[in-house]
Structure 1
Amino acid sequence: MHVLFEELVRLARQLESTSSRNEKVAALASALRGMSPSEAAVAVRMLTGEVLPAYSGLELGVGYSTLLEALRSVEGVVPLERRKLTLEDVYSALLKLARIEGEDSRRRKLRTLQALLVDLSREEVEFLARFLLGEPRIGASEGLVLEALARATGSSLESVRRAYMFTGDLGDLAQALLSGVRPESVTLQLFRPVRPMLAEMAGSVREALKECGGRAALEFKYDGVRLQIHKCGEEVHLFTRRLSDATKSLPDVVQQALERIHAREVVIDCEAVSFRDGKPVRFQDLVRRVRRKEDVWRMAREMPFVIKAFDILYLDGRVLVDEPYSERWRLLQESVDPGILIERLVTEDLAEAEAFYEESLRRGNEGLVVKRLDSPYTPGIRGRYWFKVKPAETIDVVIVGAEWGHGRRSGWLSDYYLAVLDPKTGEYLVVGKTFKGLT
C-alpha cells in the first residue's frame, strides 16, 4: 500500500498543531515506520522544506510568481475524476519540474505544475506550496527528524546523529536506516559531501588559546567560499558549505585540484579566495562565481580563485575524521603542494599568536581560526575544538513587527522584523527578520 500525499498533509497538520516535542517525535516516528524507505526519504525532505538534495545539482525553479500564476490558473477547475496522488506521484512530478530547463522552460514548468495542482485538494495545495517554497513551518526541525528516525529504527540518537554527519541529507539517511542499514555503518564516501565542521566564537586570541589548552594551531581566517574537494584520479567534484555541487561553475579550481593535489583518492576542506591589488576579494563578489552557470571560464579569468587547504577528511580509502587534527595536517602536507596550504602557526606564546592575528588583519582577512591539536573533525557540528577570532561587528536594531509562530512556537509572537534608523529621514527601515537565537 502506497502512502497518499494527503496522509503526509495530515501528518504535517498534526505536527503543526502539536506544541509538545515528544508528541511530535512519536507521531513522526510512527508515520515513518509505516512508509517504505523511498517514501520516508520523500517525507522528511518535504516536511523540512528541503525537497531536493543539495548535492543533486537540481533546483525546482519555482518561485512565488510562478506558483501564484499556477494557482490562479487552476482556481475553480474541477477535473472529471480527481485522482488520489501518492507521495511518490507528487515527488515524481517535482523531479520532472526540476529537470525542465532551456528555452521556454518557465511555460513548461507552469504546465507541469498546473497538471499536478488540479488533482490536489485545497489543503494539499496549501501544504505543497509551503513545501515548494521551503517554508513548511510545522516544527519539523532537523533535530526532531533525527530523534524520530532513531525511535523508528530502534537506534541510539548519538549513532543516528553521527550517520547524518556523513550523509548530509535527511532523505538519504531516512532511506538508508529504514532499509535496515545500521547507523554505525554509515561513513564518509567519495563524491557525497558532508557538512563542514564549524568554529565557535572566541572573544580574543588569549581566550581561544586557553580553550585549546595553551598550545594550538592558528590559521588565517579568510572571508572566502568554503569548498569541499572530492578527487578520485582525474575526476573532481566541488561542494559548497550548503553541499551544492559547484564543479561546473569553478573550472579553475578543478584544474588546481588536478595539478596540485597529488593523492589519488582524497577529500579536502578548503577556502577558495581571490585577490585584487594584493587584498582578498569580498565574499559578496566571490559568491557570484559559485552561482554562475554560463561564461564560467571568462569569470575565472576575471576573478581567479586560489585554494587555501586546511583539512583532509579522507585519503586513499581511509576515513580520517576521528584522527587528531595534528595527524590530519601531516597527511594534508603529504598530499598537496605547499603553495595551496593555508597560512598557519603552531604556538603557545600569546605575543606570537597576537602578532599572527594582527598580520592576518593587515592582509585584509577576517582574523584567525584557532584549533586544538587533538581535535577530531566533526561534520556539521560547532564543537569546542575550533575557535574563530575576529573584530566584533555589532548592529543596533529595533523590532518593528512580529508574526505568530508555528509548531512549538504556536501561540507566541516569535518572528520579529528588525529595522535600522535612517538618520536622514527619521524612518525605520526593515533589514531582515529573525526567529532563532533569541535569549
Structure 2
Amino acid sequence: MSQQVGLSQLPSEAQNTDNGILEVDAGAFIRFSEVAEQIAATTKRLQKAALLGSYFTSLTDNDLTVAARYFAGYVFPLRSQQTINVGGAALLNAIAQVTGDEKTSLQQQLVQLGDPGDVAFLAFTQNPLVQKPSLTLQELSHKLDELAIAKGTKSKAQLLTSLLNSATPLEAKYIVKLLSGDLRIGLKEGAVEDALARLFGVNVSLVQWVNMLTGDIGETALLARHQHLDRAKMQLFHPIKFMLASPVADLTEVAVQLPAGFVVEDKYDGIRAQVHVAPLAESSDPVLHGKVADGRRVAIFSRTLDEITPSFPDLIEPLANIIPIAGECAERTLRDCAERTLCAFAFKKMV
C-alpha cells in the first residue's frame, strides 16, 4: 500500500504571500511532485487531464519538454540512446546511505509497499535532510544527464547519493520513481497525449502521430503549444515508433478500416526492426552513430527504439549498399521471397 500525503502537508519552495500560503515556483521539482500526487489521488481520466493541462500551462518551454517526458515515464526522449543504468539494488543502497537506514529494512519495506519511490518517501520522512526544496526541473534534468554519462558503479553511486541528499521526502519519492522507470500514478504516455490535445485544442490522433514521428513526447508538447504540429517530420537516425497490428474478424473489416486500399504481405518470424541509411555527409547527428560501411552510415533500431546495430555486424555492408531510388527496386537485394525483391524508397519521397 502506497504512502500518500495530503497537498496541504507538502512543503513548497517559495515565499510567503499575504494570506500566509506558500507559493511554489512552476519550474520547481516539488511542484511536479505535488501535481503527481494529485493525479495519483484520482481515478478520473478527465480530471487527470485537467491537472496536467493546468500544470503544463504554467511552465516555460524548457520546463514543459522535461515535465511532459517525466509524466510519460521517460527520463530521456524515447528516441534517445541515453540510459541511466541504475538498478533497484543501487537505488536502495543510495537511500540507505543518505538516510542511515539499514538496507535489509529497506528491502523489507519494498516487499510490503511494492514501490521503491514509496520506500524512499518513508525513509526520508523518518530521516529528513532538507526542509525547503530547491531542486528545479532543469537542475534535475542536468543531474540525470550526468548520471547517464557517468562510467562505473562508484561514480554513479556518488552522483545518485549527491542528488538524493538535496531532496525533500516528496522529491526523493519521485526521483526514485523516475529512475525505476514507472511513476505508478495511473498515468501513461497516452494520457499525456490526450492532455496535450485537450489543452491546445488539437485532435489527439495528430498528437499521437507527431509523437510517433519525433520519438519525444517533450518535443511533441512544445510543437503543440506553438501550433507547429504540422512541422514534425521523420529524421534520419531518429527512430520512430513502430505501428502495431490491430486484430480484425475478417477481410471485410480490413476494407472498412482502410477504404483507400491496403497491401497484404507475408509475415516472417524474427525481430521487427527499422534501418536508417544515409551518406556520411547527410548523417552528422552525433546522438545516434550507427556503423559506417562503403561511405554510408547504417543504424538498426529495435521495436523499443534501441540501437541494435552492433548485434548484426554481417548486415552493415549489405544494408549500406541498398541504394534508394524513388519508386524503383534497389539493384542489390537482401532476399528473394516468392520471386519478389526487397524495395528501398528514397527517404525524401516518404516524408
Give TM-score, length-normalised by structure 2.
Answer: 0.69
Paired AA for residue 298 in structure 2: V
Match of 2:57 in 1: 33
Does the aligned pair in 2 maintain the 1:155–1:183 contact within 8 Å?
no
Paired AA for residue 335 in structure 1: A
Paired AA for residue 147 in structure 2: L
Superposed displacement of residue 343, structure 1: 5.0
Deviations 1:85-129 (A, max 9, x none): 00111111111111112xxx1011000000000111112111211
Does the aligned pair in 1 maintain the 2:132–2:168 contact within 8 Å?
no
Q: In 2 relative to 1, CA 36–342 (structure 1 residues): closer, same or farther, beyond 3 Å?
A: farther
Q: In 2 relative to 1, CA 40–216 (structure 1 residues): closer, same or farther, beyond 3 Å?
A: closer
1:96 aligns with 2:91: no
Does the aligned pair in 1 maintain the 2:300–2:308 contact within 8 Å?
yes
Paired AA for residue 18 in structure 1: T
Distance, in Å, in 2 between the alignment partners of 1:147 and 1:19 is: 15
Match of 2:85 in 1: 61
Match of 1:85 among 125, 135, 138: 135
> SS of the counterpart of 2:272?
strand
Q: In 2 relative to 1, CA 344–217 (structure 1 residues): closer, same or farther, beyond 3 Å?
A: farther
Match of 1:114 in 2: 161
Match of 1:262 among 303, 307, 323: 323
1:335 aligns with 2:330: yes
Point out where structure 2 has 5 or more consecutive residues left out of the alignment: 1-24, 101-126, 280-295, 341-351
> SS of the counterpart of 2:202?
coil
Match of 1:198 among 219, 225, 244: 244
> SS of the counterpart of 1:50?
coil
Superposed displacement of residue 133, structure 1: 0.7
Bigger proportion of residues as strand: 1
Does the aligned pair in 1 maintain the 2:28–2:135 contact within 8 Å?
yes
Q: How many residues align?
A: 272
Superposed displacement of residue 146, structure 1: 0.9
Match of 1:278 in 2: none
Match of 2:216 in 1: 169
Q: In 2 relative to 1, CA 190–343 (structure 1 residues): closer, same or farther, beyond 3 Å?
A: farther
Does the aligned pair in 2 maintain the 1:4–1:84 contact within 8 Å?
yes
Match of 2:47 in 1: 23
Superposed displacement of residue 29, structure 1: 0.9
Q: In 2 relative to 1, CA 78–159 (structure 1 residues): closer, same or farther, beyond 3 Å?
A: closer
Does the aligned pair in 1 maintain the 2:130–2:166 contact within 8 Å?
no
Match of 2:185 in 1: 138
1:245 aligns with 2:307: yes
Does the aligned pair in 2 maintain the 1:56–1:245 contact within 8 Å?
no
Distance, in Å, in 1 between the alignment partners of 2:228 and 2:156 is: 39
Distance, in Å, in 1 between the alignment partners of 2:339 and 2:35 is: 51
1:228 aligns with 2:274: yes
> SS of the counterpart of 1:188?
coil
Match of 1:9 among 16, 33, 36: 33
Does the aligned pair in 1 maintain the 2:147–2:159 contact within 8 Å?
yes
Distance, in Å, in 1 between the alignment partners of 2:136 and 2:181 is: 20
Superposed displacement of residue 217, structure 1: 4.8
| Percent identity for Structure 1 against Structure 2 | 29
Q: Report 1:391-430 matches (<5 A).
A: none
Does the aligned pair in 2 maintain the 1:195–1:243 contact within 8 Å?
yes
Q: In 2 relative to 1, CA 216–9 (structure 1 residues): closer, same or farther, beyond 3 Å?
A: closer
Does the aligned pair in 1 maintain the 2:79–2:215 contact within 8 Å?
no
Distance, in Å, in 2 between the alignment partners of 1:81 and 1:113 is: 19
Match of 2:282 in 1: none
Does the aligned pair in 2 maintain the 1:82–1:119 contact within 8 Å?
no
